[in-house]
Structure 1
Amino acid sequence: MDLKGLLKKNNSKIVFLVADGLGGIPHPDFGYKTELEYASTPNLDDLAGKSILGLTIPVDHGITPGSGPAHLSLFGYNPIEHEIGRGALEAYGVGFIMTEKDIAARANFGTSDRDGILTDRRAGRIPTEESRKIVERIGEKVKEIEDVEIILKPGKEHRFVLILRGEGLSDKLTDTDPQKDGLKPLELQPLSPEAEKTVRVVKEFLKRAQEVIKDEPKANTILLRGFSRKPEIEPFEEKFGLKPLALANYPMYKGLTRILGMDTPDLGDNFEDLIKYYKEHFAEYDYFYIHYKYTDKAGEDGDFLKKVRYIEELDSLIPEILSTNPDVFVVTADHSTPSYWKQHSWHPNPTLIYSKYGGADDRSKFTEKECKYGYLGLIYAYHLMPVVLANAGRLKKYGA
């Protein structure tokens, strides 16, 4: 439903705290509990007794989402109707503004053995500074292929961005990242005839880049995914009548919020810096998105106890976030990343909405099971924004 005719202005403040990959599944090594159930979370549990709870589906039942569509859904956009490629997200995340001549791809350094089999598709999460130096070396050696300019932008840890700039390029080509260790990188293929030039250029780039990195102990392989053009999408402020501030440490998330027109400062690597900036600029905005990445990283690494510790760390920061007295406070996730599964999953996200007008479910814990019994029920994540706007008093009555 288009909400534009129902939007109204007031001075209410909305805060979305997004714990990336928060949800889990029962782990047999830890009493068949999820990480949320195992963790000590007194502040989240206290909120659970004062909030409405539920579970959100990022895309659709049984569909495992990438971070891009999962966040797009959280921001109130149907991710099936609005598709933004991972490459564009990464490009905007590192501050690169694309033109109509550009094709961007998310790149990973990985580690392969002598037979070309991936042993670690994240190259041990090599330090950002080490990765940046390797990217610069490749960039010095590979600047142009045919009539296409090659632009490389370093990201965090093992990540970087490949941008192709030229005429006659297409984003209709397959990924080389198999998304799993123990396999060889996938063969690049065109998905339409107009992509043949792009495939040819990318293959040549990979060939030349491989010569540069072949002796690297960890970053000896490049994996590519999410080839995409410059996106076109309605700005968040125009869609919901909210002046937004987006606070994240990782480029991909900053890329999406910049594409949506949110103010997105670069604040370094520490989550505490995000909280500090949020408190200092609370008076200037209506909507605040605060992203917490560490739960997702621990889940992908299959480290149950580390994910528990990160959940407990986030819980300890809840009082500081609430010290600004927002009118609506939402705690949720973009997707689930169970440590037992070691990757994104299709499981719904535990969610709470705390506001003086929202009511309360009177549950004792903030967990997946408790959220299952909440007032919100099981809803699509992109239906969350209307509920939040209503709790903030920002929607008029519909009809006579």
Structure 2
Amino acid sequence: MYRSQRHHNAAAVSAASPPACDKIADSATSATRQETATAATTARLQERLERLRQRRREYADNAEPHNAKVNLPQQANGHSAKSDAGRCSPVAHFEEAASTASTTPTTDAAAISLLQQAQAHHRRRLQEAPWLLYEEDERFSHGRRQAALEHQINAALTRGDRTRAVQLSEQAAADMAGRRAAVAALCQDAQLPALTMTSQSAQTTGKRKLFFLLIDGIGDVAVPALDDRTPLQAAHTPNMDRLAREGVNGLLDPVEPGLACGSDTAHLSLLGYDPRIYYRGRGAFESMGAGLDMIPGDIAFKSNFATMDRSSGIVLRRRADRNFEGLGPSLCKDLDGIKLPSFPEHTVAVKYATEHRCGVRVRGPKLTDRITGTDPLKDNLPLVHCEATEDSEEARLTSQLVNELSDCFYNALNDHPINRQRIQAGKPPANCILLRGCGSRIKVPTVEELHGMRSFMIAPTCIIAGLGATIGMDICVVPGATGDYHTNVMAKGVAAVDKLLSHDDLFDFAFVHIKAVDDAGHDRNLDYKIRFLQEIDVMLGHVLQRLQQYCADIEGGKVTVCVTGDHSTPVLYGDHSSEPVPVTVWRAGGMPVPADRVCAFDEQAAAFGCLGRFCGDQIMPLLKRMTAM
């Protein structure tokens, strides 16, 4: 319709134009050249406009499912934030002006002038806000190609073809890196200076930042001892309630509804990495977080010091002692470099992590992570015999190595002086190491490549710190932050806000992880869960005060704040559950959208928020949009 209408108008204009034979006769050659140039200009602009319209259509087709789960509130003028964002789109402005030009019965020169004005407006909009171009092209390039790859990966996993799934995941990672080329090509097409994915952070440096507070295990269920309230409802959290009251709220399934996920897969999802594509076991994360370097071909385990009865092979306690900080480093030092008689070409490295945990890395030829672990997952069950999960020489060799390693660890620990002292003191010996979550290092785009934000992470737990290091986040070590009940919560908040708002302006994305609430859920300790929720709220109050002062001092300063969790750990269950977690998003320096009617931060109130219920992979796009608005 657009093309035919334009041709009809052009014909009408041509018919209505008065002849000027005398001028044409005097300058026939000049007129011919001008007509040719005008036609060429019109054709070029029409071709460009059609390309932009096609991109707009494909972008809309691919973006609709992406945004369907997150609905921003209605604004005062009656339009939703999503529709307003659409009208602010550079392509939308160009198309609107071009449509006006095509339907206005004027001369060809006037139509071309309007098209040129629209193009200039388009270029000016992108120069003022280049992240709009990045966001639009990100969705365009991530559309059909990435969706098709994800579908193929899921199909391969369903039929058990792990090798094919890995090949496709590597292809998906390569496509992710290809977004830079797509952005550069579109900039060249629009005659703009070269724009990379990092230019978004350059545009917002010192102005717009993101503070992400993740409370591990925050979600819970109704507790009879609290009059059927959750610990979050029972806790005194005025600062979290303030964010909920002034911001926008919802319920978040960290990976997908109905999945009781682990912290590692949840963090991958929340940070924009599909765990079905990138997750290869938590062992590599734990070991890297503990300080063990990983190279291609290595395998690593997230490991527990446990208590086992050798005569029966029963694991009596999966955690020999949660308060293991004084003994763990000594035991790990003695186990580091342990020899495997049947595998002289392989080396073993052991390093203490936190509490009862340690990282174990094996390096040598023909290793694979396609094996089971030795952890029975429950107390008073037999130690699991490691087996291959695929029919390959590497898997069979690796499973044999792991079983021998488990025996060697037991022999070294059972006669260790520390364990003899524990037995004499009536304490359970730490005579076994449970090898779990075998994994190899994954190759993924960094956070800066994926989101265009320079980020750092405060996460004293090794598994989360290792995950952050894997995806290119700067790991900030905070004195007093231990990742357990002894952690200094306030020190984490102070260090995070100092680093985020520092004068050198190196970072625009702070990610703060707090573990103690999850430990309380696992220990079924109701009082500790409430206590740490309240400690976190006090820390959050200090952070908000600093962020507001920054926005008042810096012209145009805006800091988006997100508070949520990675999963629920109800005190009644003592383990992770599939209940969604509350999420609230607020911005220091002024909210770009109206607040909803939620007045408290908890599991029930969040269900009435304007964000609705959505999956974890939607949170970073939402936060980036909020930060850019």
- Are 1:381 and 2:604 matched, yes or no? no
Matched with 1:261 is 472
Q: 2:459 aligns with which of 243, 248, 270?
A: 248
Preserved CA contact (<8 Å) 1:4 1:240: no
- Are 1:122 and 2:324 matched, yes or no? no
**Cα 1:3–1:112 shift into 2, 3 Å:** farther
Q: How does 1:210-225 map to 2 (within 5 A)?
A: 210-215=410-415, 216=419, 217-225=428-436
**Cα 1:171–1:141 shift into 2, 3 Å:** closer
CA distance in 2, matches of 1:391, 1:140: 49
Cα offset, 1:57, TM superposition:
0.8
Cα offset, 1:169, TM superposition:
0.8
Preserved CA contact (<8 Å) 2:337 2:348: no
**Cα 1:143–1:201 shift into 2, 3 Å:** closer
**Which is further off, 154-163 or 177-186?**
177-186
Structure 1: tracts of 5 or more residues without a match: 395-400
CA distance in 1, matches of 2:615, 2:477: 30
**Larger helix proportion of the pair:** 2
Q: Secondary structure at the match of 2:291?
A: coil
Q: TM-score, normalised by structure 2?
A: 0.60
- Are 1:392 and 2:616 matched, yes or no? no
- Are 1:186 and 2:388 matched, yes or no? no
Cα offset, 1:97, TM superposition:
2.4
**Which is further off, 151-160 or 209-218?**
209-218
Cα offset, 1:127, TM superposition:
2.1
Cα offset, 1:384, TM superposition:
0.7
Preserved CA contact (<8 Å) 1:69 1:84: no
CA distance in 2, matches of 1:229, 1:141: 20
Cα offset, 1:346, TM superposition:
1.0
Cα offset, 1:139, TM superposition:
2.4
- Are 1:29 and 2:225 matched, yes or no? yes
Structure with higher RCO (Cα < 8 A, 6+ apart): 1
**Cα 1:105–1:141 shift into 2, 3 Å:** closer
Q: 1:337 aligns with which of 555, 558, 569?
A: 569
Preserved CA contact (<8 Å) 1:51 1:362: no
Preserved CA contact (<8 Å) 1:123 1:158: yes
Q: 2:339 aligns with which of 134, 142, 147?
A: 142
**Larger strand proportion of the pair:** 1
Preserved CA contact (<8 Å) 2:385 2:403: no
CA distance in 2, matches of 1:46, 1:77: 30
CA distance in 1, matches of 2:354, 2:433: 15
Q: How does 1:142-291 map to 2 (within 5 A)?
A: 142=339, 145-192=343-390, 193=392, 194-215=394-415, 216=419, 217-268=428-479, 269=482, 270-283=488-501, 284=505, 285-291=507-513
Q: Secondary structure at the match of 1:125?
A: coil
**Cα 1:281–1:303 shift into 2, 3 Å:** same
Cα offset, 1:140, TM superposition:
5.4
CA distance in 2, matches of 1:334, 1:228: 21
Matched with 1:83 is 279
Q: Secondary structure at the match of 2:474?
A: coil
Preserved CA contact (<8 Å) 1:249 1:271: no
Matched with 1:357 is 592
Q: Secondary structure at the match of 1:202?
A: helix
Matched with 1:321 is 543
CA distance in 1, matches of 2:369, 2:215: 31
Higher-Rg member (1/2): 2
Cα offset, 1:30, TM superposition:
2.5
Q: TM-score, normalised by structure 1?
A: 0.94
Which letter does structure 2 place at the counterpart of 1:230?
R
**Which is further off, 122-131 or 294-303?**
122-131
Q: Secondary structure at the match of 1:73?
A: helix
CA distance in 1, matches of 2:529, 2:408: 39
Matched with 2:248 is 52
Preserved CA contact (<8 Å) 1:36 1:311: yes
CA distance in 2, matches of 1:143, 1:201: 8
CA distance in 1, matches of 2:618, 2:466: 23
Q: Secondary structure at the match of 1:62?
A: coil
Q: How many residues align?
A: 394
Preserved CA contact (<8 Å) 1:3 1:240: no
Q: Secondary structure at the match of 1:80?
A: helix
Cα offset, 1:4, TM superposition:
7.3
Which letter does structure 2 place at the counterpart of 1:159?
R
RMSD of the TM alignment (CA)? Answer: 1.9
CA distance in 2, matches of 1:218, 1:32: 39
- Are 1:19 and 2:230 matched, yes or no? no
**Which is further off, 18-27 or 131-140?**
131-140
Which letter does structure 2 place at the counterpart of 1:183?
L
Which letter does structure 2 place at the counterpart of 1:199?
S
- Are 1:96 and 2:328 matched, yes or no? no
CA distance in 1, matches of 2:594, 2:622: 12
Identity of aligned residues (%): 31
Matched with 1:397 is none
**Which is further off, 143-152 or 313-322?**
143-152
Matched with 2:516 is 294
**Cα 1:140–1:391 shift into 2, 3 Å:** closer
